[in-house]
Structure 1
């Protein structure tokens, strides 16, 4: 599989961090092995567009083999990593055909994260999160089926429950999901049904903290809340979710019947720290050194959502795509310098080029430090930035044309229901919307 005469760099995960590391190693005298359990790289910041029928999966994803096909020192292994032996320097990979141990000289763990339910993992079946293409298409199916069931039923309470969508978590993903669902209901689906009016759908965004977008300045958080409310989204802050059932969510003391509950409230790192037997933070991220090296594990690095790091300026490096790309490139360059016998790079310093979040059609917020933007200009900047960072030129053209068409027609062409209808009870009693009696 690899040339044993050359050092081997194994990269686990083909997300932003992993691919950036691989590209930094292009031309280096190493064999690069990328291991991922899926055969495609996805542009995660646009997953919510797939989930709300704005884009199709192929428009934000590309085959890993195709992406690295021009890099002759890269081999791709499709499989799931089940463990790491830091003494023997091997990675255990299982691809359902056979298990294998791959030897490495350097190991880069860029395994990303999944949604966290804060000890309530049983909620996941009722309130899915959004991290993969599978998540996005399942959410799209759930949303579109809710409107179909509302169209079919004669029960007013059942119809109201099917037309109620709850998004838990007021970070960028939650804000973008809520705004996009509201637009889907009030514009794209407005003329598609005969027995219901999709514009009457209720979209509720629930945030446990005091404001939306806590990583943004307070003024931009307030602007985001105002834009969402203008779209018809009901925003509740300082509101804690107590339970997520099959047909309702409990917020504080109130039980709200809802056919669609979506989770955007937290993330949990991959089990990489467990593979290595090293210290992790509360989110499961590996605590790494200033160069992303894992203490006590020679030749092992962790980047992106897998790593917990404070940079040279004392800034906590966030779990966002630009940070992962910078980290991957930094570690790749570090390995190249070691191979050449040069002095190592100075401690990593994160360059924050700005935070952006979109709320809906022609509405977004952008934080560039001293410059803060809202409204249409921020929305255009958000769109340009996301298209610029897409995987390849073809995807950029396709996404640009689709967005232009959607903007002009208020349409969403990816409204496909694939797979089976989610098995969800829809028998809802009128009194279920009353506050829960804790004494009962």
Structure 2
């Protein structure tokens, strides 16, 4: 392919790498600035990661939580989108090289590419565990889950225990384990009458002694009890020593145990993608790009980094949506001030609006600034409202609200949103009769 060069025009050219929370908020904050913007992402869509587990557990369509990045131009004409992956950056020439031999020149550069799953060097984890960070991850988990359920149903006469292991008891891990437990408890008796739900196990493995470590102890205790009430097998203070194709080796108080499982969901931390090493930027803990109080990359004028991929060693921020949103807006204000010859804003100050997590229907915890700590149904209602409101696009909000309402109101819908499930053959000859209570039989349902 011949070389293609994207040049800056007469106005300053701002290049934003990454269409996540930080990148999109930087782009939108520059809507009325006298600049041209190029937004680069390896995908053509933004993924709303706080609800990605709902896709993995078949409650939402992948389209419900994704937003077409090119549609940003509907309300902003000074931006265009380029699909590509950054391979290297020449800071002296102020140019990025993308895959496909594409060069993009810049006057200002905002790095907001996000991070990737961290397997912490645990043997077999990267090979056999299923991370849950991108849309494609969620679809892999969903399709693997239903493939295993269909396999178990086809061979119900010799049903063996089926264990799904979730590694990491942060918000993603807790929410995933809670959703899987509710699927087993509420949906499987209706949709998979061949299976004994008591032989389907959901295990949540966490190295620390608590779930949802950053929350107040009273909220952690509530979350723990809510998971146990749903029948989640909690393995706290338990380290993963190895992931195998057929399960996980865990260790608790120096005693090792093998947990057989054919689906291991990895929700145990993030790190910078290895490709960042080729970007010629200073990196700190977890490979994150080092920035100053204005999120400028150390030693690189005109280059900024925001979101999970960045870290100010003097003021490290949690890797959550709100720090990325606020930092993206701040960097845009800094750039606009420079372009317009105005005094730069005050150093970035993160305003903590609080955090929340859900365990399942009518059960959540919330620490929201200015409000008392909440748990149970009130926290759950707020969690649903905030997450739906933060989705990009009215179509996504309406679709998500509709699907979640059908799922949670009255437990009346058992319609899982599934994809292509590989066919599974019975391991031995099987006869299907009309007795819905006999093992291996099929039951027609209205």
> Normalising by the residue count of structure 1, what TM-score does the alignment of the two structures yield?
0.90
Unmatched tracts of structure 1, length 5 or more: 423-440
User: How many Å apart are 1:2 and its aligned residue?
Assistant: 5.4
> What are the within-5 Å matches in structure 2 for residues 98-117 of structure 1?
98-117=100-119
Partner of 1:124: 126
The answer to whether the 8 Å contact 2:123/2:241 transfers is no
Residue aligning to 2:173: 174
2:61 to 51, 56, 59: 56
Kept in 2, the 8 Å contact 1:79–1:93? The answer is yes
Aligned residues: 414
Residues 181-330 of structure 1: pairs in structure 2 closer than 5 A: 181-198=180-197, 200-252=199-251, 253-271=256-274, 273-309=276-312, 316-330=316-330
Give deviations 1:361-409, integer Å, cap 9, x for gaps.
1100101256211101100010001011010112111111111111225
Give distance in 1, aligned partners of 2:419 and 2:331: 42
Correspondence for 1:66: 71
- Describe how 1:392-411 pairs up with structure 2 within 5 A: 392-410=393-411, 411=413
Moved more, 277-286 or 387-396: 277-286
Structure 1 residues 159-188: Cα deviation after superposition (integer angstroms, max 9, x where no partner)? 21xx21110001011000000011111112
Q: Note the C-alpha offset of 1:5.
A: 0.6
Q: Which residue of 2 aligns with 1:429?
A: none
Residue in 2 aligned with 1:432? Answer: none
Structure 2 CA distance, aligned partners of 1:363 and 1:32? 42
Report what 2:374 is aligned to: 373
Distance 1:121 1:298, change over 3 A: farther
Q: Distance in 2 between matches of 1:200 and 1:68?
A: 51
- 1:136-195 deviations in whole A, cap 9, x for unaligned? 000001111111111122575x621xx211100010110000000111111123211232
| 1:105 to 1:3, Cα distance in 2 relative to 1, 3 A | closer
CA contact under 8 A between 1:56 and 1:414: conserved in structure 2?
A: no
Alignment of 1:12-51 (within 5 A): 12-51=17-56
The 8 Å contact of residues 13 and 107 in structure 2, kept in 1 or not, is answered as yes
Q: Secondary structure at the match of 2:287?
A: coil
Match of 1:86 in 2: 91
Match of 2:364 in 1: 364
Deviation string 1:3-52 (CA, Å, 9 cap, x unpaired) is: 52111100000001100000011021111000111000111100000000
Alpha-carbon displacement from aligned partner over 1:66-91 (angstroms, at most 9, x marks no partner)? 13332111010011110111110001
How many Å separate the matches in 2 of 1:69 and 1:131? 28
Match of 2:15 in 1: 10
Alignment partners' CA distance in 2, 1:288 and 1:315? 10
CA distance in 1, matches of 2:121, 2:296: 30
SS at 1:190 equivalent: helix
Q: What displacement does 1:315 show?
A: 5.0
Task: Report the secondary structure of 2:67's partner residue.
Answer: strand
Alpha-carbon distance in structure 2 between the residues aligned to 1:351 and 1:68:
29
Instruction: Give unpaired runs (5+ residues) of structure 2.
Output: 1-5, 425-446
Using the size of structure 2 for normalisation, the TM-score is 0.89
- Structure 1, 399-408 or 164-173: larger mean CA deviation: 399-408
Residue 228 of structure 1 aligns to a residue in which SS?
helix
Query: Which whole-Å deviations, capped at 9, do the CAs of 1:312-348 have from their partners, x for residues lacking one?
Result: xx75311111111111111111111111111111111
